Amino acid sequence: MSLTIKATEIDGITNVYLCQDGYQNGKDWDWYFEAVKGAWPNVIQTIKEYLEK
């Protein structure tokens, strides 16, 4: 597994790139992927709100 987070500023706006990869095959991996897929949007929103303060 790897997690890449990059933040770049362009004209006063911050662009955040997030990529989590390295998933494999199998029931446990499928469960993990679905859990992460559902969680990341909430995490990103929380980070956005924190950074805007």
pLDDT per residue as tens digits for the range 1-13: 999 999 999 999 8
Residue 46 has pLDDT above 90, yes or no: yes
Residue 14 has pLDDT above 90, yes or no: no
pLDDT greater at residue 35 or residue 48: 35
| Chain CA centroid to CA 26, Å | 22
Block residue for tokens 């997030």: 18
The residue type at 16: V
Looking at residue 17, its pLDDT comes to: 92
DSSP-assigned letter for residue 24: -
Q: What are the residue ranges spanned by the domains of the chain?
A: 2-52
Mean pLDDT across the chain:
92
**pTM for this structure?**
0.70
Decide: helix, strand or coil at residue 4. strand
DSSP-assigned letter for residue 25: S
